Amino acid sequence: MLLLAGSALPDVLVMKDGRRIEGTVTSQDAAKVKITTSFGDFEFPMTQVEKIEKGKTGAQEFEERFKSAKSAGDFFELGQWAESKKMRTEAKKAMKRVLELEPKHAGANTFFGKVEYKGEWLTPAERDARAAADAEAEMLAKGFVRWKEQWVTPEEKGHLEKNEVLVEGKWIPYEVAQRKKGLELFG
């Protein structure tokens, strides 16, 4: 009892355990069904199959929708659909097309792990580097200079390089400041 031998129609086997297997049924009889999927050829006993649905595979549906999409919004919606179907390669293809049409599209940039910084979409590492460079430029513009890991005025830097500390509004050698606290150098 051969029903679909050599059929080129895309099908979905709905298994009794809930799995859904997409592919093309190549043969079916009362005892078994054979299906070709993107992972290879498989054979299942009909006792494990709840039903066979005629329809398109996810990949076929994606390609049809991709060809008919016109706007960045259409491609973004398609990318979200593909992602929800765990079709990562197809989702990336759709999202790349979104960015070709609309480079500042928030959803597509977020999909690729980018973050917005001052109107630009960057990777988190690029954003962090840019933010650090901007912060440094701001401090330099205010007249501060780097000393070790802190920003100080040029005057403060001169005192710090001489190992002086500010105590009660006066710059004094560190050792003198320690003695004022009642401490002595031991050894």
Across 103-130, average pLDDT: 96
pTM above 0.85, yes or no: no
| Nearest in space to 73 (alpha carbons), one of 85, 84, 81, 61 | 81
Which residues, including other chains, have CB under 8 Å from residue 168's CB and lie 6 or more apart? none
Question: What are the structural domain ranges in the chain?
Answer: 10-55, 59-111, 144-187
Domain 10-55 belongs in CATH node 1.10.1740.110:
no
66-102 pLDDT, tens digit per residue, is 999 999 999 999 999 999 989 999 999 999 999 999 9
pLDDT band at 23 (very low <50, low <70, confident <90, very high): confident
Residue in the structure block whose two tokens are 């002086």: 164
125-169 pLDDT, tens digit per residue, is 999 999 999 999 999 999 999 999 999 999 999 999 999 998 888
Alpha carbon distance 151, 153 (integer Å): 7
Tokens (6 digits) for 175: 């050792």
